Structure 1
Amino acid sequence: MSDTDSFIDEVSEEVRRDKLYTVMRRYGWIAAVAVVAVVGGAAYNEWRKASEQSAAQAFGDAILAAEGIEDPQERIAALQGVAGAGEQSAVLNLLVASDAADVSTDALMKIASDASLPDHFRHLAALRVAQMQDEAVSLDEVRSMLAPVLVAGAPYRVLGEEALALAELRAGDKEAAVSRLQALLVDDEASGALRRRATQLIVALGGTPEAS
């Protein structure tokens, strides 16, 4: 290679280096911002996870402390004083509702009608309302309460079937109640405990449980 070619190569390399430095000076801040954004985003994500975990732990600790109070009224007051939003609020209302009959229906119906909550909370609340009813409530009203719970694939469907069977029995429709209980004995989603309850009730009503 001649001295001329070597000189041209050196000049070309210098030109490329100058162009690279120029580009870096002009656009290097973008790379710096990107790095800061990535690092900052990761740090914020870790902080958010830690904050959520801490808040969840505090919520759980508050509930455990409230549930440890022996006096019913003080326990309810403590539960109602626990701060919670969204699903946490639903959990609190379910706990309060299961603890005091005088406020249970309102608290449960609030959950059951809250479209912002996941179905498993709403269905559980509706199921609990239906289970609390007595002869003063018509069978059609109980069916209406349980309508969303009894949909195929719903998380508490079999418990809803049991609640409806009991409502049918209260309404004097023994045949429908026994038929529904018999169906639960062969329902794959029914737990062993539920099948035992259904069996005992069928026998108490004078029927013969079908083989599961």
Structure 2
Amino acid sequence: MSNPDSFIDEVTDEVRRDRLFAMFRKYGWIGGLLVVLIVGGAAFNEWQKHRATVRAQAFGDAMMDALDLGGAAERRQAIAGIPADGAQVALKELMLASDPAGDKAGALQALDAILADSSLPVAYRDIAALRRVMVAGADMPLADRRALLEGVAVPGRPLRVLAQEQLAYLLLEDGKKDEAIAALSALVVDQESPSGLKARAGQAITALGGTPPEAVKAG
């Protein structure tokens, strides 16, 4: 390469470096800001996780202290006074509904509060629906109980088979024994049914004069 060409290349490289340094001086603060934001965001996330852990521990400790109290009325009063947010609200309401013999109206009110809160996870509302049907019993019209359970018994819901079990018992309550036996038999061979449910369904079928099908083993 000739000397003139070499000189031109050197000048060109120098101009490029000057432009690069000028860009760094002009826009380098953006990179610094990004670093600050990334580090600050990570620190904020860790702080949020720590705060959530502390809050969950405080909620659990308060709940255990309330459950250790002697009388049912004292326990309910203590549980009702525990600060809660998010999913903790559902857990709190479920605990308030755990003693229907002592306060059936209060238990139903707590369950209705969960069912009415669409911001809560589906699993909590499904538990409340099942519990609501069982606590209310015959005080709740059969059609209303069936409608509530049918919303839980759809494919993909976490408590589907438990809701279907309760629906089978509603068929029996409605005088439809053969349909109840068929519904219970379907649960016996349903691979999603836990062993305890299969055993209950088989016993119910036998008690109704039917013959339980052979359970299908998962896998």
User: Could you say which TM-score interval applies, normalised by the shorter chain?
Assistant: 0.7 to 0.9
Q: Percent identity?
A: 45
Structure 1 residues 20-74: Cα deviation after superposition (integer angstroms, max 9, x where no partner): 5544433332232222222222221221121112112222222222222232111
**Change in CA separation of 1:122 and 1:14 when aligned onto 2, cut-off 3 Å:** same
Give SS of 2:123's match.
helix
Structure 1 residues 92-150: Cα deviation after superposition (integer angstroms, max 9, x where no partner): 11111122323121211221232222221111111111122333433322211112111
Match of 1:54 in 2: 54
Is 1:134–1:170's contact at 8 Å kept on the other side of the alignment? no
Match of 1:134 in 2: 137
Q: Comparing 118-127 with 60-69, which one deviates more in the overlay?
A: 60-69
Q: Is 1:158 matched up with 2:166?
A: no
Q: What does 1:85-100 correspond to in 2, within 5 Å?
A: 85-100=85-100
Unaligned runs of 5+ in 1: none
TM-score w.r.t. length of structure 1: 0.84
CA distance in 2, matches of 1:136, 1:113: 20
Give SS of 2:167's match.
helix
Is 2:161–2:187's contact at 8 Å kept on the other side of the alignment? yes
Match of 1:145 in 2: 148
Q: Is 1:27 matched up with 2:27?
A: yes
Give SS of 2:97's match.
helix
CA distance in 1, matches of 2:169, 2:199: 15
CA distance in 2, matches of 1:81, 1:60: 13
CA distance in 2, matches of 1:189, 1:13: 70
CA distance in 2, matches of 1:5, 1:184: 87
Is 2:129–2:148's contact at 8 Å kept on the other side of the alignment? yes
Match of 2:65 in 1: 65
C-alpha RMSD of matched pairs (Å)? 2.7
Is 2:129–2:149's contact at 8 Å kept on the other side of the alignment? yes
Is 2:133–2:140's contact at 8 Å kept on the other side of the alignment? no
TM-score w.r.t. length of structure 2: 0.82
Is 2:111–2:131's contact at 8 Å kept on the other side of the alignment? yes
**Change in CA separation of 1:12 and 1:206 when aligned onto 2, cut-off 3 Å:** closer
Q: Is 1:113 matched up with 2:116?
A: yes
Q: Letter of the 2:204 partner, please give it.
A: L
**Change in CA separation of 1:23 and 1:180 when aligned onto 2, cut-off 3 Å:** closer
Is 1:138–1:171's contact at 8 Å kept on the other side of the alignment? no
CA distance in 2, matches of 1:209, 1:11: 92
Is 1:59–1:82's contact at 8 Å kept on the other side of the alignment? yes
**Change in CA separation of 1:157 and 1:9 when aligned onto 2, cut-off 3 Å:** closer
Unaligned runs of 5+ in 2: none
CA distance in 2, matches of 1:207, 1:6: 99
Q: Comparing 71-80 with 98-107, which one deviates more in the overlay?
A: 98-107
Is 1:123–1:156's contact at 8 Å kept on the other side of the alignment? yes
Q: 1:196 aligns with which of 185, 195, 199?
A: 199
Q: Letter of the 1:144 partner, please give it.
A: A
CA distance in 2, matches of 1:4, 1:200: 100
Give SS of 1:199's match.
helix
Q: Is 1:182 matched up with 2:213?
A: no
Give SS of 2:170's match.
helix
Match of 2:106 in 1: 103
